[in-house]
Amino acid sequence: MKKVKKEVKKVWTETKKTATQIVLNPKRSCIFLFNRCFETIRNNILFFIFLIVNLFACTLLRYFTIHTIENLLNLKPIIADLAIILALGGLSFFMKKKNRFLYLFIVTLILSIICIINSLYYTFYTSFVSVSLIGTLEYLFQVGDAVTKNVFKPSDFSYLFAPIALLLIHLKLKKNTKKENLEKRENKKAIISLCMSLILAVAFISMLTSLEIGRFSKQWNREYIVMKFGIYTYHLNDFAKSIAPKITSLFGYDNALKKFNEYYENTPNKQEKVNEYTGIFEGKNMIVIHCESMQQVNMTLSFNGQELTPNLNKLASESLYFSNFYSQVSVGTSSDSEFTFNTSLMPTNTGTAFVSYFNRDYVSIPKLLKEKGYYTFSMHANNGSYWNRNVMHQSLGYDKFYSKKDYEIDEVIGLGLSDKSFFKQSIERIKEINKKGKPYYGTVIMLTNHTPFSDVDKYGDFDVDMKENAVDEEGNPIINEETGEVEQVIYPYMEGTKLGNYFKSVHYADEALGEFLTGLEEAGLMENTVIVLYGDHDARLPKADYNRLFNYDKENDSTLPSETEGFYKVDSFQYEILRKVPFLIYSKETKESLHSEITTVMGMYDAMPTLGNMFGFYNKYQLGKDIFNTTDDNIVIFPNGNWMTSKIYYNTQNGNFLPLKEEAISEEYIIECQKYAEKLLGVSNSLIVFDLIKKEQETIQAESDYIEEKVTE
């Protein structure tokens, strides 16, 4: 330690001396510094190659994932990443020379793996990986086929050039290097490197705005943080955020409780607002259909005159159909949808509620309906351990969870039991539940329409090509002499594309849905029952396929040029709009007279309050709104910090927005909505991480017990 202190003092003295010389003789000093720098690089080639290849790799990651030229020109993340790389490289000088390359190579390999993992993860989730998600890796392995078919790209492995380049340079240097003292350590160089790293870090911090610092501390939008702070700074912050919940007593409990109390201070303890739908379904059964990867755009499509989703479309026409409904999932995908639908809370910014926070107290639909005498159950023909459902469904208040072990796996499509067989077997179980004589609340979770949509031969016959009648040069139909029918010209269109295979899977899921509804009707289970259906999230398929869908050039079997008149460009904003999912409420009443389309923008967290008003239950801690008690000002907030209203879709990452109406958007409007979004996300996360509902209920109970004790005395 004394030796290091001595070296630091020596470096500081030399630095002051050099600075004095620059002031007294700038020209001569600049030449001297240039020669010195050149000499330093020549004598430490491996170290500087280490810096260059790793800095280039993380810059490449930002460009390949976020796809903006700003990522190549933005100086802030480059400085931040360089500071960390410089510090890591500088530590090598504390080592003996014979061990230095091995250290640099291992560090480079680790950094490259970090880039590869984030690249793969971004393709699937449009986000960056978190330390808190290590516990969910088992679920990724269970859908490994989806990853290999829909996620892997050649660019994902381009980051391996860094360790390869370092190795090749080392081998070349090894050939040309004379024998040297391999036991030598160079503490001075290490200290200089660490000092330079510190200087860069200070320079980087000085460039940050208060807004950037605020978003860094919240870490809701990982994409924004990586773009502004660099991938390695993000991971350092992520690590700190990930371990914070494990030691909550040391990390912000008082502040979280203060925000929680302020947010719910004026929230009533019971339902106060009423409307025409208040109590209309009270006492009725509710069956919720969790429709895997079902997007609303599917309901608008037809191929060769056949609707893609005829059963879903018919159901929507007889329902309260919410046509501007958005899922609000994060990395927990399906489990996030289940969580938000049942609690009206948002996914957490670290980990997932189902895996990381399953042991919290939640106010949920199953629990509230159980208080009203309902029997509650859930059904899903996958492993009960997937997304920790066997534990979390109990935590949410389901009396019984029917999982894979409760079904006969007689027909496998995709990840497991086919939806048609699942629904058929589920009806038999619902019959038994119905015999109990109690009202019931059940969730049935579909599975077949899950990525990678590769079991095309099992989905049935549904062509996603384009068929047209053949005509001659004069425009007359060409008749086949043998059959007497008009000949057809077939264009591939969506056949063979990932999106085309998804459509085939969707059509199968729609057929399964139709059979389920028919089966319920035939079993007499629809008489006093309300069907609620929601799409859990989008299919996460490439924008390029959507561009082909909307801009097909049949003559060349390709996508029309973007300059073509009427070209519909699916940019990042349009892609987000396409991710909306169906949500509908069906009953005998809606079929006969109450059916209508509700176009108000709403999110998954609005489902619970809307249903609560109809079924007579209320959750004080719900973050959403009863959509029938809102005007056109409803706001949908997404886990990454983006939000939308009826007026705009706002991207917090770059501050850009897509106008949804032809009216001016004021800066005050955006600031107000942004503040509300950040407040809601913060309160939701604090509520879950610190288990604040349980703590408030314990406080209320303690006060009640104290009052009762005083009265008794």
Among residues 576, 574, 595, 593, which one has the least CA distance to residue 585?
A: 595
- How would you classify the pairing of strands 488-491 and 466-469? antiparallel
- Report the C-alpha gap between 14 and 383 in whole angstroms: 66
- Report the C-alpha gap between 429 and 378 in whole angstroms: 11
Segments in the chain below pLDDT 70: 1-41, 67-73, 124-126, 132-152, 176-183, 218-220, 244-251, 710, 712-713
Token pair 């800066």: residue: 667
H-only helix segments in 523-666: 543-550, 572-578, 588-589, 607-615
**What's the token pair of residue 490?**
């077939």
Cβ(9)–Cβ(191) under 8 Å? Answer: no
Residue 228, C-beta contacts closer than 8 angstroms, at least 6 positions apart: 74, 76, 77, 212, 215, 216
Judge residue 384's burial from the number of C-beta atoms within 10 Å of its C-beta, 0-12 exposed, 13-18 middle, 19 or more buried: middle
**What's the token pair of residue 373?**
């005498």
Distances (CA, A) of 31 to 48, 370, 579: 21, 81, 59
Q: What are phi and psi of 41, to 5 degrees?
A: -65, -45
**What's the token pair of residue 523?**
């079993």
Distances (CA, A) of 682 to 260, 360, 485, 612, 655: 9, 17, 65, 24, 20
- Report the C-alpha gap between 644 and 650 in whole angstroms: 6
In a 3-state reduction of DSSP, which class is residue 677?
Answer: helix
Cβ(57)–Cβ(64) under 8 Å? Answer: no
**What's the token pair of residue 19?**
């600075």
- Report the C-alpha gap between 27 and 431 in whole angstroms: 92
Cβ(575)–Cβ(591) under 8 Å? Answer: no
Q: What are phi and psi of 374, to 5 degrees?
A: -85, 150
- Report the C-alpha gap between 365 and 557 in whole angstroms: 49
Rounded (10°) angle between helices 389-396 and 333-343: 10
Token pair 């955006």: residue: 670
- Report the C-alpha gap between 538 and 333 in whole angstroms: 9
- How would you classify the pairing of strands 400-402 and 375-379? parallel
Residue 75 CA from chain centroid, whole number:
27
- Report the C-alpha gap between 655 and 674 in whole angstroms: 10
H or E element, residue 256: helix 253-264
Q: What are phi and psi of 222, to 5 degrees?
A: -65, -35
% helix, strand, coil for the chain, step of 5? 55, 10, 35
E-state strands within 536-598: 552-553, 558-559, 583-586, 596-598
Contacts 24+ apart (CB under 8 A), 127-130: 127/222, 127/223, 127/330, 127/331, 127/640, 128/65, 128/222, 128/223, 128/226, 128/231, 128/234, 130/222, 130/238, 130/242, 130/331, 130/350, 130/351
Judge residue 18's burial from the number of C-beta atoms within 10 Å of its C-beta, 0-12 exposed, 13-18 middle, 19 or more buried: middle
- Report the C-alpha gap between 634 and 647 in whole angstroms: 10
Domain residue extents for the chain = 45-247, 269-453+498-629
How many residues are there in the chain?
A: 713
Contacts 24+ apart (CB under 8 A), 140-145: 142/383, 142/386, 142/415, 143/415, 143/450, 143/451, 143/452, 145/452, 145/454
Q: What per-residue confidence (pLDDT) applies to 33? A: 47
Q: What are phi and psi of 266, to 5 degrees?
A: -105, 15
Give the CATH H-level superfamily of domain 269-453+498-629: Alkaline Phosphatase, subunit A (3.40.720.10)
**What's the token pair of residue 676?**
């509300």
Residue 221, C-beta contacts closer than 8 angstroms, at least 6 positions apart: 215, 640, 641, 642, 652, 653
What does pTM read for this prediction? 0.81
Residue 466 CA from chain centroid, whole number:
34
Distances (CA, A) of 237 to 78, 213, 220, 668: 17, 12, 12, 31
Residue 349 CA from chain centroid, whole number:
10
- Report the C-alpha gap between 79 and 82 in whole angstroms: 5
Q: What per-residue confidence (pLDDT) applies to 2? A: 56
Q: How many CB atoms lie within 10 A of CB 299?
A: 20
Among residues 285, 289, 325, which one has the least CA distance to residue 510?
A: 289
